[in-house]
Amino acid sequence: MRHSILYLPMLLLFVACGGNTSVDEQLVAKRATRDSLKTEREKLNTAIAEVEEWIVRHDPEQKRTLPMVTTFALQPQEFVHWTEAHGSVRADQNALVFSATGGTVRRILVQQGQRVTRGQAIVDIDVDALRQQVQQAEASAELAGTVFERQAKLWEQKVGSEVQYLQAKTNRDAANAQLAALKDQLRNAQAIAPFDGVVDEIFPNLGDMATPMQPVARVVALGNASIEVDLSEDLLTKVKLGDPVEVVLPETGERVSATIDQIGQYINPNNRSFKVSLRMTNGSKLRPNQLANVRIRDLDVKDALVVPSRLVMENSSGQSYVYVLEQQEGTARSRKVMVKVLSAQGGELLIETTEGGLKGGELLIDQGSRLVVDKQEVQVMKGA
């Protein structure tokens, strides 16, 4: 009994592994069966078409059974491919405002969302102690300056020593430097707007203690913004500076034009992508960190062979083909032409021009293309 219990986990593991292997083998077999059936279907369709054609030639009553088709005139046209990506908005001027010394918040001078100008005070911070230090430093600097002037006059009269003169000069310079440092500290103690913009957020409440380590407010300048996008590595050679870009704002559906302003030179090894910055002049349309959908044109072919995707089919080997309508001795027939698809965009396929393939100007079979085979006689619908 004990041996049976010990062997049970090993048996379950073996069955599980065997089950996975069996599924894999069945999947391979099913795929092979599918490809074989597709091949047989093509052969049967061809054989049926040959028999029907013989019947049609010998029994005029059977003309009604011919496949009814419509045509599509293949003419060279422009093909444009767009790559879609997601990006986020970055404001050129987006700053956190700090107080250099900190202190108690006595007044909040503006409201969130209010426009401010450069140098305008946002929050009034209690810095009375610092102002007293400035006053003391001013008195000390004035005294040191007076002492230096008197000592300089004495030195000019050859009274006193040079050391006394240099000592007075040093004291004056030190007092002036200390006063300048305190004034600069006092000026930076107040939270002021670094540029013209909008107060996006005020962090402390009235009576809170502001510190140099915590921001007092955020000021954002709307108008100039950029959008950062991560693009796949295979697009590195397909985009260049100055290329036009279309930006779609998901919230409003609005479309805004932009240009590629910067292309990153670093490839992220985690997702094989590089960064692209788009330059925008948007007024007040964009907000920092707002999401945006970006459409970048990475391919533009002027005289291209563009075929609707509904006309292109695949055989069992994965090769693409279309049917061309041809007139043979007054009879409309289908001709199978192999094609190579280069790109796809919005239900349209860019087809490569090859020797013996499509050249432009052909009539392709549209409706009914999946009901015909190569060299089959067809009947074109009137008005098609």
State pLDDT tens for residues 81-135.
Answer: 888 888 888 877 788 888 877 778 888 888 888 888 888 888 887 776 767 777 8
pLDDT at 66 over 50: yes
Q: For residue 324, is pLDDT > 90?
A: yes
Q: Regarding predicted confidence, which is higher, 269 or 329?
A: 269
Q: What average pLDDT score do residues 28-41 get?
A: 81
Q: What is the pLDDT of residue 37?
A: 84
Share above pLDDT 70 across residues of the chain, in percent, rounded to a whole number: 87
Average pLDDT of span 17-32: 71
* Polymer length of the chain: 384
More confident residue, 293 or 223: 293
Angle at the Cα of 161 from the Cα atoms of 158 and 162, rounded to 5 degrees: 95
- The mean per-residue pLDDT over the stretch 16-44 comes to 74
- Tens-digit pLDDT profile for residues 246-292: 888 887 778 888 888 888 888 999 999 999 988 876 545 677 778 88
Q: Which residues of 125-164 are buried (b: 16+ CB within 10 A; e: fewer)?
A: bbbeebeebbeebeebbeebbebbeebeeebeeeeeeeee
pLDDT at 157 over 70: yes
Token couple for 132: 């007293």
Q: 64 falls in which pLDDT band (50, 70, 90)?
A: low
Whether residue 218 contacts residue 110, with contact meaning beta carbons closer than 8 Å, is answered with no
Give the dihedral of Cα atoms 250, 253, 257, 259; nearest 10 deg.
10
CB-facing half-sphere around the CA of 124: CA atoms within 13 A: 6
